[in-house]
């Protein structure tokens, strides 16, 4: 078959996967807050679910802020780049073993 067709198909599949993953990330935080509220409800009977969900959301945001402040994402991306031998050889002309 035609190689450009498969390359374009593969690219479209990757774009769809990436788009879905980004959407999942945006929906994950509120959903996890609601799940955490449901799990914590028996331990905090005096608080309503929305208060627990708001508390969970706040904790997730604080942890995210700490992650951003200490630049963990930058370090993860650097590590991923270093582990990609094709990228390293293209960028620096070296083979990663």
Task: Give the SS3 label for residue 96.
Answer: coil
Residue 97 lies in a domain: no
Q: Which domain holds residue 59?
A: 3-92
Residue 7 lies in a domain: yes
**DSSP label at residue 9:** H
Total domains present in the chain: 1
When pLDDT is cut at 50, 70 and 90, the band that residue 90 belongs to is confident
* Per-residue pLDDT tens over the stretch 11-22: 999 999 999 999
pTM for this one?
A: 0.61
1 has pLDDT over 80: no
CA–CA separation, 49 vs 26, rounded Å?
21
* Per-residue pLDDT tens over the stretch 15-64: 999 999 999 988 998 899 999 899 999 999 999 999 999 998 899 899 98
Strand stretches in 4-97, DSSP E: none
pLDDT at residue number 96: 52
């Amino acid at each position: 078959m035609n190689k450009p067709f498969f390359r374009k198909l593969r690219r479209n599949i990757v774009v769809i996967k990436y788009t879905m993953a980004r959407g999942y990330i945006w929906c994950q935080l509120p959903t996890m807050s609601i799940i955490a509220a449901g799990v914590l409800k028996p331990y905090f009977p005096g608080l309503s679910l929305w208060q627990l969900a708001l508390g969970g959301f706040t904790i997730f945001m604080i942890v995210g802020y700490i992650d951003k402040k200490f630049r963990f994402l930058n370090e993860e991306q650097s590590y991923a780049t270093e582990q990609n031998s094709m990228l390293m050889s293209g960028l620096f002309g070296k083979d990663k073993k």
